[in-house]
Amino acid sequence: MKRSIVFPMMIALILCVTPLLIAASKVGEAAPDFTATASSGKTVKLSDNRGKYVVLEWHNNGCPYVGKQYNSGNMQRLQKTWTARGVAWFTVLSSAPGKQGYATASEENDYMAKMHATPTAALLDPTGEIGHLFDAKTSPQMVVINPQGIVIYDGAIDDKPTTDLNDVPGATNYVSLALEQAMAGKKVETPATRPYGCSVKYAN
């Protein structure tokens, strides 16, 4: 008898609680931890990077908004600048196999070599698990995490939501702004923006 009550209650509880558990990261809250395989073959665990600032960059090499950042050399410049200042920069590929932006490890390594991209690592996320964990909507969506593991920025790469290469030079880069301000011990003025770009090509 007891069991017949407990079981539906458990189901009800799971139904209620699950959305809360899988609810995406939010600015000001702890970043959800994950373990991923990088295109280099290494395993990357987010929480192993405590003590460092971490940048997550959602990537899709066929997306024109991503193309704007890479063809202008802007993304590579950001990666170089910030990794040199001790930031762990992870490019995340959440496209499902067969969809635009999906790349195998060697394809991604070839792409990075060709584009002279130097993130700390490119994380392969073909199941979209990391993408959903952070509720990534677009490429190039950007997330900045502080050394304590708190999300301090989530949103667009800059304030020019276009595919036009000419818009890169005059743009305010929200990632650099958040990192500069946080590193200077200041409050991040713009902690969240609409992450413009192409929708992340998840499996469903």
Partner 1 sequence: MRRRNAKPTLPTASGLGLVVLLCAATANATPAPIPHGTIEIVAQSESIEPGRDFNLALHFQLEKGWHIYWANPGDSGEPPRVDWKMPKGITAEEIEWPTPHRLGSSTIVDYGYEDAVTLIVPMRTESKLAAQQSAQIVGQVKVLVCREMCIPGKAQVSLTLSIKAQTAAPDTKTEGLFAAARKSLPQHAPQNWKLSVHDTESSFVLTGNIGQQSTRAIFFPLNESQIDNAALQDVTPTPAGFRLTLRKSQQLLKPITRLKGVLVLSDDRAYWIDVPVSKPGVAQNNSGMNLQLQHS
Q: Given candidates 57, 108, 154, 158, which one binds partner 1 under the rule CB under 8 A?
A: 154
Instruction: Give the nearer residue to partner 1 in terms of CB position, either 119 or 195.
Output: 195
**Crossing angle of helices 74-84/64-71, nearest 10°?**
60
Q: What is the dihedral of CA 189, 52, 79, 106, to 10 degrees?
A: -130
Identify the residue among 52, 77, 80, 132 touching partner 1 (CB under 8 A).
132
Secondary structure of 40-92 as H, E, C letters: CCCEEEHHHHCCCCEEEEEECCCCHHHHHHHHCCHHHHHHHHHHHCCCEEEEE
CA distance 67 to 65: 5
- Indicate which single residue of 77, 99, 105, 171 sits in contact with partner 1 (rule: CB under 8 A): 99
Residue of 31, 46, 63, 121 that binds partner 1 (CB under 8 A): 63
| Residue 11: Cβ within 10 Å count | 10
DSSP class of residue 150 equals B
Task: Pick out residues in 166-195 that bind partner 1 (CB under 8 A).
Answer: 191-195
Q: Which of 23, 48, 86, 172 binds partner 1 (CB under 8 A)?
A: 23
Tell me the C-alpha to C-alpha distance, in Å, between residue 201 and each of 96, 122, 155, 189.
6, 17, 17, 30
Choosing from 4, 19, 41, 170, the residue that interacts with partner 1 (CB under 8 A) is: 19
Closer of 25 and 79 to partner 1 (Cβ): 25
Q: Which of 50, 71, 162, 168 binds partner 1 (CB under 8 A)?
A: 162
Q: Which is nearer to partner 1, 150 or 192 (CB)?
A: 192
What element of type H or E holds 9? Answer: helix 2-22
Q: Which stretch binds partner 1 (CB under 8 A): 21-29, 42-50, 77-85, 109-117?
A: 21-29
**How does DSSP classify residue 33?**
P
Q: Footprint of partner 1 on this chain (CB under 8 A)? A: 16, 19, 23-24, 26-27, 62-65, 99-100, 132, 135, 137-138, 154-155, 161-164, 191-202, 204
